[in-house]
Amino acid sequence: MNTFLALLVRDIRLSVRVGGGALMGALFFLIVVVMMPFALGPDLALLARIGPAILWLGALLASLLALDRLFATDYDDGSLDLLMMGRMPLELAVAAKAIAHWLTTALPLVIISPLLGLMLNVELRATGTLALTLLAGTPALTFIGLIGAALSVTLRRGGLLLAVLVLPLTIPVLIFGVAAANAAIIGPVPFGPPFTILCALSLGSLVLGPFAAAAALRHGLE
């Protein structure tokens, strides 16, 4: 547990000090959402209708932006070799890095999403639900993205491959996330089923992601 926390704290510290990755994602999110009303024009009804989808897409793309740095820096300076020689299994080390990544990249998005929702004319009472769906779904995005990041770790410019690998796997998360968010606003589809499936996707990827990513890292490092 001590080892797990040590890695978690180190990665959070590095994210906060280096700044680029976490802030970049949140900034990108902000830009997408702020520019959208200008691009779509003053059609408030339209904005309210697609608001949740825009926020979810923004969260997805922002998460993807910071992912290729997840393992790349450790691979470049030789830390990855040592992480594999620790007393903790590589799967847990990978999970610790993923949690640190989620805390510094996705959690800020979840926190500012109600404010951004208001900018997209989403009703006030629905912004809370929107944030809740993001909270439940962004772990899935991070842990699925983990697999792509691990697969592309040995590539210099792995970003493109990473996006190609990860995006198809995140489509279900996007669909159910938007469905759950819309359910609170528009109505006919109930909130429960898409939300529980979203939670299931997150929980499933929480387990599968680290195993797949660790296997990919071991293979890639040979």
Partner 1 sequence: MQLKGQNLVCSRGGREVFSDLNFSLSGGEALLVTGRNGAGKSSLLRLIAGLVRMAAGQLTLEGGDGEASIGEQAHYLGHQDAVKPSLSVRENLQFWARYLGSGEGVEAALEAVDLAPLGGLPAAYLSAGQRRRLSIARLAAVKRPIWLLDEPTSALDAPSQARLTALMRGHLAAGGLIVAAAHGPIGLERARELNLGPV
Residues binding partner 1 (CB under 8 A): 2-3, 6-7, 10, 13-14, 17-18, 76-79, 81-88, 221-222
Nearest distance from C-beta of residue 9 to partner 1, angstroms: 8
Nearest distance from C-beta of residue 211 to partner 1, angstroms: 18
Nearest distance from C-beta of residue 50 to partner 1, angstroms: 39
Specify the residue, 93 or 110, whose C-beta has the smaller distance to partner 1: 93
Tally: H helices and E strands in the chain: 10, 0
Nearest distance from C-beta of residue 74 to partner 1, angstroms: 8
* CB contact at 8 A, 96 and 117: no
* Residue 10: CB atoms within 10 Å: 14
The DSSP string of the chain is: -HHHHHHHHHHHHHHHHH-HHHHHHHHHHHHHHHHHHHHH-S-HHHHHHHHHHHHHHHHHHHHHHHHTHHHHHHHHTTHHHHHTTSSS-HHHHHHHHHHHHIIIIIHHHHHHHHHHHHHTT--HHHHHHHHHHHHHHHHHHHHHHHHHHHHTTTSTTTHHHHHHHHHHHHHHHHHHHHHHHHHHHT-SS-SHHHHHHHHHHHHHHHHHHHHHHHHHHHHHT-
Specify the residue, 17 or 125, whose C-beta has the smaller distance to partner 1: 17
Specify the residue, 40 or 88, whose C-beta has the smaller distance to partner 1: 88
Specify the residue, 2 or 39, whose C-beta has the smaller distance to partner 1: 2
Specify the residue, 84 or 107, whose C-beta has the smaller distance to partner 1: 84
Nearest distance from C-beta of residue 210 to partner 1, angstroms: 17
Specify the residue, 85 or 124, whose C-beta has the smaller distance to partner 1: 85
Nearest distance from C-beta of residue 65 to partner 1, angstroms: 20
